[in-house]
Amino acid sequence: MTVTAPAVTAAHTDPTPPWSTRANSRAAGILYLLTFASSIPALALLGPVLNDAGYVTGTGQDTRVLWGCLLDTVNALTAIGTAVAVYPVVRRQNGSLALGFVTSRLVEAAVVMIGVVSLLAVVTMRQQLAGSGADAASATVAANALVSVRDWTFLFGPGLMPVFNALLFATLLHRSRLVPRIIPKIGLIGAPLLFAAFVANLFGGFAQVSTASLLLTLPIAAWELSVGIWMTVKGFRPQAVAALQARDAV
């Protein structure tokens, strides 16, 4: 007598239902929106230390600067969170690209945090300099050097890393159809434009905070905002999630 083994179906291979990705997409979407909610006011709050060459010897607005540094820290952490939240889903499309997205977000966050620490050092210098009789000229030179470090991190962090973030994540979303394809297409268009702005900023073509830079940055901002809103409100398309699960089963 021949005994036939029971067939193994896709359901037995991967019992995870498509709608289980809702938590991943919602978390990633909210974190994307938090990057906007933290980074934009942070830039305004950091104005005094970034724009005043004599900040370290003046009365200072340390509380305002500390709040700006805190918001930049939130921005760095939420950036990492966006990639970690979607990784379990998008790795099914392409594990290498998904891991690359996590890595690029980690690099971006690390660069941002270097800038945060540099500005915190300026605040500490200003507090220690007040009433100490120390050499104000030397302190000013050191403080301005630290601000310059932060300016470079602002260029290589938010000014460059979103290029790689968009190329990796938008490619994953475009291929998997987890969101409407128009959304990742915006990211794929915006990435080279942002890179052009980065090169122009690097070689002094125009300032990073300028009208020209803003125009070249808008598509990437639109991509990140749209994908954040879509993942928060709509989530990943169930048909696309089911297709990824079917690929895993095969």
State residue 132's pLDDT score: 63
pLDDT at residue 16, as a whole number: 46
Q: pLDDT class for 29, splitting at 50, 70, 90?
A: very high
Burial class (CB in 10 A: 0-12, 13-18, 19+), 149: middle
Q: Which amino acid is at 231?
A: M
Residue 19: pLDDT above 50? no
Closest by Cα among 81, 242, 110, 86 to 170: 86
| Mean pLDDT, residues 55-81 | 94
Domain boundaries, the chain: 21-238
How many C-beta atoms lie closer than 10 Å to residue 38's C-beta? 20
Tokens, residue 232: 């928060």
- Banded pLDDT at 178 (limits 50, 70, 90): very high
Which pLDDT belongs to residue 148?
Answer: 96
Residue 6 has pLDDT above 50, yes or no: no
Q: Tell me the per-residue pLDDT of 200-229, one tens digit each, with 9 for 90 and over.
A: 999 999 988 889 999 999 999 999 999 999
Is pLDDT of 172 > 50?
A: yes
Q: Which of 82, 90, 67, 89 is nearest to 34 (CA)?
A: 82
Residues above pLDDT 70, as percent of the chain: 90
How many whole angstroms separate alpha carbon 93 and alpha carbon 171? 10
Report the pLDDT value the prediction gives residue 134, as an integer from 0 to 100. Answer: 65
**What integer pLDDT is reported at residue 58 of this predicted model?**
84
Pairwise pLDDT comparison (135 vs 151), residue with the higher score: 151
pLDDT at 11: 40
Q: What pLDDT does residue 191 have?
A: 97
Q: Tell me: the pLDDT tens digits for 81-135?
A: 999 999 999 999 999 999 999 999 999 999 999 999 999 999 999 988 876 666 7
Helical axes 161-176 vs 95-129, angle rounded to 10°: 150
pTM: 0.88
Length of the chain: 250
Contact 237, 179 (CB under 8 A): yes
- Statement: residue 196 has pLDDT above 50: yes
Q: Residues 88-99: pLDDT tens digits?
A: 999 999 999 999
